[in-house]
Structure 1
């Protein structure tokens, strides 16, 4: 099963006290860095003052923004700070959603995270040569590898050479067999990592012949998630740009498919009582822990608010619906709904405005049907 990272986010959502959230574009600019830094500091300070954030939070956030992202290309940073303590500091690769989003209140504003990194999928990168290969396991939430394995194969006769016409073919066969055995070891290691991590993408790059021998020996389940990058990144000084671009493209495709599948299920589930598109019905379903997937249109929900609660049912439209839970405060509806979904172990999918049917601003895929039970359905 795919990992949506709800456990860590749920812990963040449960913590008491007001919190400051900032989403900022931290793409490295080519202009004067000192001037850019001064402008960024002033803009951040004004934005946080405007939403009532304490100065200790603003100071911490300004320090975080100045940390070099260490990642090329377009990138943004999402920061959650409470009483000067950093509770979330996420780099989100890709085109930023906007220049700056700032808030302060009882619930962190994590919609940019759900938009750009809706779940914490795992993927494997294997760089192979005829002598073995390097395998790295990544998660979207971490810049550094979660795990690494270096497979060193046999290097005897690793290069085919001319040794005389009588023995030449034997040496050629021996060399090819060594290459095959080496890539077989790499394939076994990759299969184990993919199986144990439930990785959803395997990207292979490296020597052409090594790639061919490796792919032929991968397990069928591993080949199902395979993408080959036709470049060799192993030699010293080789560029990784093509590999990085290919990774971004394949990960974006997987996440786009998630959104497509959710909208397809929404369409088919409405007739079976397994989907809701009415806003009030979505809130009720979240209160009952009935939602499996919450689909949000943040632009459509702009200006709409709900009450965040300190325990189940986690969200309500009015004090009368709080069912005895304490009220944390009135917050943006998109934040309140995403929080309630995460705390009830539901997945959050963010869509663009107009993608939901009938001008809906929120929808839900349900764990059980809302239709009355009949003898036939039993």
Structure 2
């Protein structure tokens, strides 16, 4: 998961109010329950030291959260009397989360938004294609391409002139498949999508797939359900697209863990994987984190870590922070500090699901680990 959408949270000093809010069910007593929930959230913020202006901004924002528009709820980040970011959740929180802290509380957002890969869906026929982008924010149009419109239909006669016409039809199909593949590749690069799903005509779809570059083809899947024509959408198509997104997210985690197991510290060779707060803090300071791995049930997530005003000013101990030039470091949760550092250096973040006790040792120690942008020689002890 890329965290670029969180950028507004990292260019302003805290403390921050963070609230994960699940609106009450949309029934007759819903508004009253929501009002009581909002009141309880604001009371918690006040008890933790939040200023009146920020608490009021949070109250106003939460009163506008409705089950109809946000059935799974929202997360609110506020500072200095202003709501800086409000983000829709994919799954409701197990309970209300409200806190007042030096940094925004981010790990629950990753859990409640899922890995949510961005998917570029191409609805294809023999004359062109429509592109649609799907992600955590819903759906949005991503453009279209139209190829040659004639001739596109073959005849059934064996007459020589008709066979010649059929050859022209075949050439039109091939030409259009090339144009669609080129436009799809451009849309994929411009949109920042994680994967591509091809939907539509059973002949045009594989023809487009064959003409995609190897890099795009590697993240592309096809489904036989649905098509480009209006009204061709179905529940089966929707499930096929969601299944492709789930499989992509699962495969990414598995590949990252395989690489982590192969490269973790513990050998006498250069490593490209680290675990534990001290090693991760060092990697964050040096902008070496390529992918941050977080297991939400890990004990190290809440470990006290020290930060300065800049995202890369991270240290495992207060004395170390001062040695590094941070005159007035503040204590924060380790996961919040590392997520801030990862976000501003364009690192990826993956949530590692809890696993069976038998293979828990293979996961990052304490729940925090990272794949690095370059290797380094382990320090001799």
TM-score, shorter chain, exceeding 0.5 = yes
CA–CA distance in structure 2, aligned partners of residues 226 and 78 of structure 1: 32
Relative to structure 1, the CA distance from residue 167 to residue 278 in structure 2 (aligned partners, 3 Å threshold; closer, same or farther) is closer
Decide which moves more: 113-122 or 15-24. Answer: 113-122
Paired residues in the alignment total 361
What residue in structure 1 maps to residue 274 of structure 2? 276
CA–CA distance in structure 1, aligned partners of residues 213 and 348 of structure 2: 30
For structure 2, the residue ranges without an aligned partner over 5 or more in a row are none
State the Cα distance separating 1:328 from its structure 2 match: 6.5
- Residues 1:309 and 2:308 aligned together: yes
Aligned residues: CA RMSD: 3.6
Deviation by residue 1:299-319 (Cα, 9 ceiling, x = unmatched) = 223653333321365333443
What residue in structure 1 maps to residue 320 of structure 2? 321
State the Cα distance separating 1:203 from its structure 2 match: 0.8
Aligned counterpart in structure 1 of residue 121 of structure 2, from 109, 125, 143 = 125
CA–CA distance in structure 1, aligned partners of residues 123 and 40 of structure 2: 46
1:331 aligns to what SS in structure 2?
strand
What residue in structure 1 maps to residue 9 of structure 2? 12
- Residues 1:264 and 2:263 aligned together: no
Decide which moves more: 108-117 or 222-231. Answer: 108-117
Equivalent pair of 1:204/1:226 in contact (CA under 8 Å): yes
TM-score, normalised to structure 1, is: 0.78
Equivalent pair of 1:130/1:158 in contact (CA under 8 Å): yes
1:208 aligns to what SS in structure 2?
coil
Relative to structure 1, the CA distance from residue 16 to residue 208 in structure 2 (aligned partners, 3 Å threshold; closer, same or farther) is same
1:368 aligns to what SS in structure 2?
strand
1:322 aligns to what SS in structure 2?
helix
Following superposition of structure 1 onto structure 2, how do residues 15-94 of structure 1 map, counting pairs within 5 Å? 15-25=12-22, 32=27, 34-52=28-46, 53=50, 54-66=54-66, 68-69=68-69, 75-93=72-90
State the Cα distance separating 1:205 from its structure 2 match: 0.9
Equivalent pair of 2:311/2:337 in contact (CA under 8 Å): no
Decide which moves more: 281-290 or 225-234. Answer: 281-290
For structure 1, the residue ranges without an aligned partner over 5 or more in a row are 374-378
Relative to structure 1, the CA distance from residue 282 to residue 214 in structure 2 (aligned partners, 3 Å threshold; closer, same or farther) is closer
CA–CA distance in structure 1, aligned partners of residues 104 and 281 of structure 2: 19
Following superposition of structure 1 onto structure 2, how do residues 248-263 of structure 1 map, counting pairs within 5 Å? 248-263=242-257
Equivalent pair of 1:77/1:91 in contact (CA under 8 Å): yes
CA–CA distance in structure 2, aligned partners of residues 110 and 12 of structure 1: 10
1:14 aligns to what SS in structure 2?
coil
Aligned counterpart in structure 2 of residue 108 of structure 1, from 104, 110, 119 = 104
1:151 aligns to what SS in structure 2?
strand
Relative to structure 1, the CA distance from residue 215 to residue 359 in structure 2 (aligned partners, 3 Å threshold; closer, same or farther) is closer
Following superposition of structure 1 onto structure 2, how do residues 158-197 of structure 1 map, counting pairs within 5 Å? 158-160=152-154, 168-195=162-189
CA–CA distance in structure 2, aligned partners of residues 25 and 187 of structure 1: 42
Aligned counterpart in structure 1 of residue 370 of structure 2, from 355, 364, 367 = 364
Deviation by residue 1:238-273 (Cα, 9 ceiling, x = unmatched) = 335334333332233333233223322332222235
Equivalent pair of 1:20/1:105 in contact (CA under 8 Å): yes
